[in-house]
Structure formats: C-alpha cells, structure tokens
Amino acid sequence: MNIPQTEFKVLSPSGILGYGFPEESFNRGIEMQPDMIAIDAGSVDPGPYYLGSGKSFTNRDGVKRDLRYILKAAYNLDIPAVIGSAGGCGAKPHVDWCREIAEEIAEEDNLAFTMGVIYADVDKEIIKTAIKAGKTRPLGGLPELDDATVDKATNIVAQMGIGPIKNAFDQGCQVVLAGRAYDPTAFAAKPISLGFDPALALHMGKILECAAIAASPGSGCDCVMGILHDDYFELVPLNPIREFTKNSTAAHSLYEKSDPYLLPGPGGMLDLSEVKFEELPEGRIKVSGTKFIPEENPTVKLEGTEKVGCRTISIAGTRDPIMIRQIDSILETVKENTSSMLESEGVKGEIFFHVYGKNGVMADLEPEKMESLEVCVLIETLADSQNDADAICSIVRSTLLHYGYPGRIATAGNLAFPFSPSDISAGDVYKFSIYHLLEIDENDVFKTEIHEL
C-alpha cells in the first residue's frame, strides 16, 4: 500500500550557484535527509552584458566547488538535484558551460546519473510569428516588440515555469540543468508533480531561491531547508547564527515585486494577501495562507539583449575643493570641448561622467545635496569600435587632467589616478532590448536533452 508523502524537504545551499556556502551548514542539511537539493544559478541583475556575451558572472572554480557538493550528495542520497538558470543567464552558452562542469565532476568522482538539460533559447521566427498574431506585450516601459529588435538581439531566452522541469523528471532524470527559469520553479516543480499545493510550493521556492537572505542576519552564501506540508511550509536555518523572523520572512516575500500582494509568474500568480507568518522554536518559521491564481492565457517572459558598442573607462580622483565646488560645470565644458575636437576628426561616440561622492550612484535622481572632501570621477566612453572608445577616453582624460578652471591654483594636474595604465578597455557593451511577455505553450519553446553520465 502506497502512503502519500506528507512532507517534502528541499535543501537550498546558496543564493546563487558559485556564491559558496559553509560546509558545516550543508552537512546539517544533509543530516536532515532532504528529498531534493535545488539551487538558482542566475539572474539578470548583473546587467545585460552576461546574457549578450554568453558568459557567466560567476567564477568557474566557485561553481564547480558548489556543484560538486550538490551532485555528490544527490548521488549518495539518491535524490533529485535541480539547477535553475544554469550558467548565470540561462542561454545555451551558459547552460553548456554548466553542463561541462557537471560532466567533469561526474567523471572525477565516479558519479552515475541521468541528467536532463533544458534549453531556454527561443527561435526568432517563433517570436516574429507571435508579433504578427498580437501575442507579445512589453514590460518595464519598453515599446512594443518588432521584427527589427528581434533580428538585432544576440541571445533571447524565455523564463520557464514548472512544466519543462517536471517533464525532465517524468523522463527519469535525477539531475536537471535548466536554462533561464522563473526562480521558484527549481524548488517547486518536483513537489508540485507529487501533488503538493502549487501556491505553497512556489512561495517556498520564492524564498529558498535566495537561501539565507530571508533569515536574520541575512546571507546569500549560507544554506536553508524548506519543509513543505499539506497546508503550510516551514523554513529552517542551518547555521546557528541565523533565525527566521516574521519581519525577515515577510520582507523577503516582498522582494523583487511590483505589488505587495500579487506575484506574477509563468502559468499564474501568487496571492499573498492572506499569508500568515508564525515564529517557531530554533529560529524556524511557519508560513501559510498563500493562494495561486491560474493564468487564462499562459505566457512566458522573454529576455534579450543587443550589442550597442564598445566601452573604455578611466577612474580618477580629486581633493581640490575649488574643483569640487564647480565639478558639474567643469565636466560639462570638458565634454563640449572634446566633443567638438573629436567631431572635427570624424570620431563618433558618447561621453559619460559618474561622480562618486556627489551623485555617482543615483545621478540625477539623487535627492540629497552632498558636499565631499574628495570625489571620484569615472570617465566612460562608448563608441562603435574599441579603438574609437579608447581614443575618446584618452582625449577626455587628458583634457580634464589639465583643464584650467576658474580659481585653479595647482597646475601640475587636476586628477589622481589609482591605476596605471589609467585607461581601461572594457570591451563590448549590451543593452536589454527585449523584456516582453510571449503568449505561448511552454512545450513549444523549451527543449530537453537527456544525458547518461
């Protein structure tokens, strides 16, 4: 007689694969006999470069270290392991990069398992067809999607929901490397397939994907256990210095949301309006009351980038109070003078100044007027080629270094450079050009390869 499973334990080792975690915390989690190990491996938070270039924002050695712990534990306990948004941004180059690391670990440690690799890249013709059918819509204030924007994009991925990961398990996979995925799905797909409440599973996944960040004190580099029950879930800290409180857990439930109660995702949205948080002994917390509202016309979120040029930067500081008091007008005049000089030479590009110690973080949105003893001026130039970006930065840097501003006393140079060479060629620059919803069946987008290791 089969007795239905009444709880499901998910070990979340770290906020992102490669960020690291204490071995002691991980071992405490393993001692609790988890039913699954899951971890989110990516995000678009580091900006468009990584998706556009196909490179990971996490270090290979760090990823291999974390993944070795996960795969060995999954193998020894004979439990599933899921990595969401593999390689950082979840496009094919990122997923293949992570797959190669997994294969290395399997060979080095003599591990045998079936691995499902799910690609999240979307064919451009599928998107163009959807545009013509009126089945795309923009997010984040972007314009409507058009064919030209699609053609210019380098990598385009879609955020998968629980379906593709569940399908990989249905095909007998013990380890799943998923491309770009809605963050909670790596944690929620398996328990949902076993009959657990989708609302609670996704809400628990929403918190577990950041591991101990929701604890107090928070950390993205420490382990957490989530325990899913029929009508609630528990969060368990695996480091004695941390605890889950009502405030810390509720605050993280609001994390990365445009609405305090509703959290949309693939297939529907979470309704948190009646959620209750109950603190338990030993730093645990009980969460209940989450609801799930299915989406009438399922959509996936598209993310895409296009290359806009090449960048060069130069970092310099000044402590001259005379210069600091008029830094805005000085920089504006330097920009005008150099732009005129470069235009006469046929060199095209853009010049940006970021003044740290004044408004370097928030720029024009900075609400406070700051007066500093010293400021850092970050010169940024952008052009179609690296050569032009380098040339523009060189002219701007030398002009600012020796610019004769009103009241100037020192004549040896206006700037102090922490590095030599002072100019740094930063390479290709990308921007997010696609951040749109696509109305489509998940089975028409995400493709799974099965690998026997």
pTM: 0.92
User: Over pLDDT 70: what percentage of the chain?
Assistant: 99
What band does 1 get if pLDDT is binned at 50, 70 and 90? very low
8 Å CB contact between 56 and 440:
no
DSSP letter for 236, please.
E
User: How far is it, in rounded angstroms, from Cα 256 to Cα 254?
Assistant: 6
What band does 160 get if pLDDT is binned at 50, 70 and 90? very high
DSSP 267-329: TEEEE-TT-EEEE-GGG-EEEE--EEEE-SS-EEEEEEEEEEEEEEEEEEEE--HHHHHTHHH
Q: Is the model's pLDDT at 240 over the cut of 50?
A: yes
pLDDT of the residue at 255: 75
Q: Is 47 left (phi over 0), alpha (psi -120 to 50) or beta?
A: left
Picking from 275, 260, 145, 137, the residue whose alpha carbon sits closest to that of residue 204 is 275
For 313-354, the pLDDT digits (tens) are: 999 999 999 999 999 999 999 999 999 989 888 899 999 999
Which neighbouring-strand residues pair with 307?
Answer: 430
Q: Is the model's pLDDT at 78 over the cut of 50?
A: yes
Q: Is the model's pLDDT at 2 over the cut of 70?
A: no
pLDDT of the residue at 190: 97
pLDDT of the residue at 4: 66
Count of beta carbons in the 10 Å neighbourhood of residue 292: 18
What band does 3 get if pLDDT is binned at 50, 70 and 90? very low
8 Å CB contact between 385 and 276:
no
pLDDT of the residue at 254: 81
For 346-370, the pLDDT digits (tens) are: 899 999 999 999 988 988 888 888 8
For 11-22, the pLDDT digits (tens) are: 999 999 999 999
What band does 40 get if pLDDT is binned at 50, 70 and 90? very high
Q: Over range 391-413, report the average pLDDT.
A: 93
Please enumerate in sequence order all residues whose Cβ is within 8 A of that of 286, keeping only pairs 6 or more positions apart, or say none. Answer: 232, 233, 234, 277, 278, 279, 280
